[in-house]
Amino acid sequence: MAGGHKYLIEDYLGKRARVYGGERAVLVGIIPLGSAEEEWETFDELRALAYTAGVLVVGHLTQRRSRPDPATFIGRGKAEELRDLAAALGADTAIFNDQLSPDQARNLEEITGLKIIDRSQLILDIFAQRAGTREAELAVELAQLEYLLPRMRGWGKALTNPGGRIGTMGPGETKMEIERRKVKRRIQAIRRALKEADRVREIRRKRRKSSHLPQVAIVGYTNSGKSTLFRRLTGEDVLVEDKLFATLDTKVRKVALEAGHFVLLSDTVGFIRKLPHQLIPAFRATMESAREADLLLNVLDASSPRVMEHFRAVGRILAEEVFSPGEPRPPVLHVLNKVDLVRDSRQEGLLEELKLELGNYVEVSAKHGWGMDELKRAIIEALGDRWVDLKALVPYEKSGVLGVLGKLGRLEVIGNGERGIVVRLVVPSSELPRLKGIPGLVLMEA
């Protein structure tokens, strides 16, 4: 990651508010009054996030209340309880299940002496740990700096003047202002660099479009099995991990669903509930292949007791964050994955309920390769009019054309007529104008 950025974050948040892995953490959350939610449900996803970030969870603490305390999120007494619990468990960090305001984080840090992390920050840090391309690094750095900026007032006590009073500008404050300006300049520089990356992406996008192949994007909740499915369909060795956000950028490959039915398939970054809003621009860029797609495959983890919430979260993120209002949206084919893990009747009941809402779905196990033929057929059907199936006559003196046709899609020789070779063709509909332009070729209905 860029040196300047690290320097800034270490200076101001340092050990306080970054996850490096190796921390020992207590998870802290509020359960709304009257909610039937159980403790494990409050923390299952946060626990997975902590695990992904390399943090050891040593305990948890919940409080039932109607809304967060504006000063300390949980009540002050509860914060003191957190301090004692952490001391007893040897924890150095508290991870909150929701976004904290800069004031809440500062107050909690003062009361407990712990490093205070919230859900947004944990996700940002995971993205930072995992960013593998220059563009992803910049996008995540931008998100982190935007998160950091409002928190740079009053934090980093070592740099503020302890004698400075309200209304006066102590030397510490001045230094903080200088550093804030540095962060702002860095933000501007990254925005410029990302504009350049946009331009490069635009070139790639045009190339994809000009290939005339239908585009299919695999989307879905994090850890639902998108990369496993991508790997299964393409034979490509992509990273598959039982961690959240294993995939941070988009991969595109050409695959044949059946002879002649080629598509461009893309694997994308996973969705999560309550995505930190600073990450959304980065998300939008990497989700471009979904915006361009002719079909979305929404991969759902059918074995998760949370599958219903995942389905709703994906719907909401697609509607509000990936697509702009009014933007045309491709049809969605839902893929119920990990069916090999569905055993108990409670989960089966849940799935029955979900299927009623899904409409168009296929059940598969990407890991075991179950349901792949059915899935391919469903994709072809959903893309229906993207291919045409026709007969053509290739005059004997133009038999060189056969080579060209073979490259466009599926070519099958049916027989030899008086004037030429009769073939059956399955090609992307977008290739029709090109076919019509081939001299001597006679097109007929299938």
Ligand X SMILES: Nc1nc2c(ncn2[C@@H]2O[C@H](COP(=O)(O)OP(=O)(O)OP(=O)(O)O)[C@@H](O)[C@H]2O)c(=O)[nH]1
Find the shortest distance in angstroms from Cβ 377 to Mg ion: 24
Residues that bind Mg ion (CB under 5 A): 226-227, 246-247
Find the shortest distance in angstroms from Cβ 280 to ligand X: 16
By beta-carbon distance, which residue lies closest to Mg ion? 247
Question: Which residue, 114 or 128, has its beta carbon nearer to ligand X?
Answer: 128
Question: Which residue, 132 or 440, has its beta carbon nearer to Mg ion?
Answer: 132
Q: What share of the chain is helix, strand, coil (3-state, %, to 5)?
A: 50, 20, 30
Sequence-distant contacts of 315-323: CB under 8 A, at least 24 apart: 317/271, 317/275, 318/219, 318/290, 321/275, 321/280, 321/283, 321/284, 321/287, 322/219, 322/283, 322/284, 322/287, 322/290, 322/291, 323/291
Q: How many CB atoms lie within 10 A of CB 445?
A: 7
Give which of ligand X, Mg ion, none residue 378 binds (C-beta under 5 to 8 Å, depending on kind): none
Question: Which residue, 116 or 354, has its beta carbon nearer to ligand X?
Answer: 354
By beta-carbon distance, which residue lies closest to ligand X? 270
> How far apart, in whole angstroms, are the C-alpha atoms of residue 201 and residue 138?
15
Find the shortest distance in angstroms from Cβ 243 to ligand X: 6
Find the shortest distance in angstroms from Cβ 368 to ligand X: 6
Check: CB of residue 337 under 8 Å from CB of residue 297: no
> How far apart, in whole angstroms, are the C-alpha atoms of residue 180 and residue 149?
7
Give which of ligand X, Mg ion, none residue 242 binds (C-beta under 5 to 8 Å, depending on kind): ligand X
Check: CB of residue 435 under 8 Å from CB of residue 427: yes
Find the shortest distance in angstroms from Cβ 247 to Mg ion: 3
Give which of Mg ion, ligand X, none residue 244 binds (C-beta under 5 to 8 Å, depending on kind): ligand X
Question: Which residue, 216 or 405, has its beta carbon nearer to ligand X?
Answer: 216
Find the shortest distance in angstroms from Cβ 331 to ligand X: 21
* Residues in contact with 393: Cβ distance below 8 Å, sequence separation at least 6, in sequence order: 417, 419, 420, 421, 422, 423, 441, 442, 444
Check: CB of residue 154 under 8 Å from CB of residue 134: no
Question: Which residue, 143 or 219, has its beta carbon nearer to ligand X?
Answer: 219
Give which of ligand X, Mg ion, none residue 289 binds (C-beta under 5 to 8 Å, depending on kind): none
> How far apart, in whole angstroms, are the C-alpha atoms of residue 261 and residue 255?
8
Check: CB of residue 50 under 8 Å from CB of residue 84: no
Question: Which residue, 16 or 130, has its beta carbon nearer to Mg ion?
Answer: 130
Give which of ligand X, Mg ion, none residue 241 binds (C-beta under 5 to 8 Å, depending on kind): ligand X
Give which of ligand X, Mg ion, none residue 337 binds (C-beta under 5 to 8 Å, depending on kind): ligand X
Question: Which residue, 73 or 230, has its beta carbon nearer to ligand X?
Answer: 230
Give which of Mg ion, ligand X, none residue 104 binds (C-beta under 5 to 8 Å, depending on kind): none
H-type helices in 131-170, by residue range? 134-148
Question: Which residue, 214 or 225, has its beta carbon nearer to ligand X?
Answer: 225
Q: Which two tokens stand for residue 88?
A: 């007893």
Amino acid 69 reads D
Check: CB of residue 445 under 8 Å from CB of residue 391: yes
Give which of ligand X, Mg ion, none residue 224 binds (C-beta under 5 to 8 Å, depending on kind): ligand X
Residues that bind ligand X (CB under 6 A): 222-228, 240-242, 244-247, 270, 337-338, 340-341, 365-367
